[in-house]
Chain A
Amino acid sequence: MDFDWMKIPYALLTLFIVVNYGMLQNALIAKIGARVGRRRGIPIWQNYADLIKNYSIRSSITHGVMYYLGPVFRLSGGVGLLLFVPSLYGSEMFSNLSFAGDLILALYFIFFGTLGMALGAAESGHPYAAIGITRGLQQVSAAELPMALAVFSVALQYQTLSVTEIVAAQQGGFQNWTLFTNPLAVAAAMLSFLGSMMRPPFDVVLAPQEIPIGPPTEYHSSYLALMQTNRAIFPIAKIVIYMNLFFGGATIWPEFFLKVFLIYMVSVLVGVVHPRFRVEQSIRWFLVWAVPIGILSIVLV
């Protein structure tokens, strides 16, 4: 495949759009949450202020090389994930860098940032960081399973691992979406999605007062800023995969924004009405409820 240098500015454009959208969406969702609690909530630009503030912190400490690199890994993972998946279907401009690999690449690249972050946080030497990481890893290991099954089911369904081709197969009306052609897979995937969004009931990883926000306990100033940037990108990047696989993808940015927002809202809605699971409870929950659905989807596809 010939490489086109124009892809680079296009990819940066995608990045720019998604970062901004992510910041605003996070604020919007926080606001929605506040409104549910009958508060006004944060200003819509609050995230920008926080980000700038964190970049503007004058002093910082480092615990070592990996600690220093952790946020870099984290953000690289987010950016890479975003760029390895086409954002808009049928748009040469926003197919990003998806020529480098297919769905499998994207799924495994999720771990890139996780791993780096885990290493960085662990080097801080803080036990809470390590506890948080182990919780996260354990929970994700179970949560990933239904997702993997669902992805596999979809790949079997469309006989391809290329994201573009999967989206292509869903074009021509919402009845062609995987949501309707393979509802079991979508159900499994969405349950898994809940587990990967770090929202209740699966947010014991952060547990702000018990293990002061877990892995990033020691992170601050520009490190934290990097991670905040990632928080704007990474969920979107993940949701883009879901959107492409299950919800017909998007052909224009408004559709993209809408679908991403709605998918995100699923986890928010579940989150605001559920208490927290302990780790072993969430492992059991995924294995007992989500995995069978995934298995069914594989068997039946």
Chain B
Amino acid sequence: MEIKNTAGEGHIVIEIVGSLDSTNVSQAEEKIIPFITDKACMVLDMGKCNYVSSAGLRLLLMIAKQLAAKGGWLSLVGVCDDVKDVMEMTGFSCFFKTYNTLPEAFEALKKGGMAKC
């Protein structure tokens, strides 16, 4: 697993590469937590993440909840079909907004912000 912070249209974009499971969740958590700041809009780019285990899903949910508590939010991008399936069947999908591509996510974030006003 590898975590990269890339810039993207004023949002925090974090790319997760490889698999996210119990062997590396605490590492991932350490790296991501500093980005959870007030009103942060975080986009996790999972396009290169091929597997998310139960522990990994829990980390994602934890991030989403912490962001929400600070008035921000989390979107997932490029989640592969297998992981999407598991998220759907176990109910994790109910807590995330998912998009196919980064531009789609940015577009939605823009609209979400607008509609809110």
Chain B associates with chain A: no
Residues of A within 8 A of B (CB): none
